[in-house]
Amino acid sequence: MNTQTEEMTLLDVAEPIQHPAPAMQQTGALAANSPAAMMMSALSQGVSPEQIGQMMDLQDRWEQREAQKAYNAAFAAFKAEAVRIVKGKKVEDGPLKGKSYAELHGVVDAVTPALSRHGLSASWKLTRDDKDWIEVTCTLKHVGGHSESVSMGGPPDAGGAKNAIQARASAISYLSRYTLKAICGVAEGGDDTDGNTPAPDELMQPARDAAMGGSEALRAYWKTLSEGARAALKAELPALKEAAKAADAEGAKA
């Protein structure tokens, strides 16, 4: 048998090479005093399944608390950046001509970089979509697992010359903008106050948007307000009513 044949024969009959099984990757070291570490120690001592279940529940609660603490620390760091939202869109006509507000993309562009630096991200879901009522929920999540949400609802924005789809899209954009500001705890800046003390933006901007939806939308918004909120908006009410009447007139022409 020549040398090449011998080598081939030896390869055919050789024992297969045994590769060691890859070690399970460790996803994270357990703190020595964590419930999970104590549970593993208890397992080795013959603890009952009922007790193990109780320990697992304890571990879940512990992890949730740790995630919430991480979220709170990240949110505090985000707030320390003092994100400013500029009202970059001016109203071109109607009783509110010359007033400014921030569009949805302006709010998103302002908060997203600071949120990302601290492991936070925001997203929306349409949580109610009825013919006469739309609800949007904004959720702020942290990479550690904890999240918090805020919801806001309202009727479709039927003011002006909007068709049915545009009315719903306008309402969703409005609700997305305000739920994002609410969950992030930010407000718009840059109003021209003309020397007067302005109504809080959290009240004024929704009131303006409601007025743009017509008199019925403004009345519906007004009914949701507390006595204090109504008092804060009292000085702006005439202009809001005029804006609502103008929106009604535009809707009648459509």
pLDDT at position 69 is 92
Asked whether 168 and 159 are in contact (CB, 8 A), the reply is no
For residue 28, what pLDDT band results from cuts at 50, 70 and 90? low
CA–CA gap between residue 29 and residue 37 (Å, rounded): 9
The top-scoring range by mean pLDDT among 28-37, 58-67, 238-247 is: 58-67
Residue 48: CA count within 13 A, CB half-sphere: 3
Give bridge partners of residue 134 from the DSSP assignment. Answer: 129, 154
pLDDT at position 222 is 86
Lowest-confidence range among 4-18, 125-139, 151-165? 4-18
For residue 168, what pLDDT band results from cuts at 50, 70 and 90? very high
pLDDT at position 50 is 78
CA–CA gap between residue 248 and residue 155 (Å, rounded): 15
User: What average pLDDT score do residues 121-149 get?
Assistant: 94
For residue 180, what pLDDT band results from cuts at 50, 70 and 90? very high
For residue 231, what pLDDT band results from cuts at 50, 70 and 90? confident
Give bridge partners of residue 148 from the DSSP assignment. Answer: 140
Asked whether 207 and 198 are in contact (CB, 8 A), the reply is no
What is the helix (H) or strand (E) element at residue 177, kind and residue range?
helix 164-184
User: What average pLDDT score do residues 93-103 get?
Assistant: 67
Q: Is the pLDDT of residue 97 over 70?
A: no
CA–CA gap between residue 207 and residue 243 (Å, rounded): 10
pLDDT at position 135 is 94
Displacement of CA 54 from its chain's centroid (Å): 34
CA–CA gap between residue 44 and residue 48 (Å, rounded): 11
SS3 state at 72: helix
Q: What is the DSSP string of 138-154?
A: EEEEETTS-EEEEEEEE
Does 251 or 219 have the greater pLDDT score? 219
Asked whether 37 and 31 are in contact (CB, 8 A), the reply is yes
Of the chain, the percentage scoring pLDDT greater than 70 comes to 72
Cα distances (Å, whole numbers) of residue 80 to 23, 63, 220:
43, 26, 36
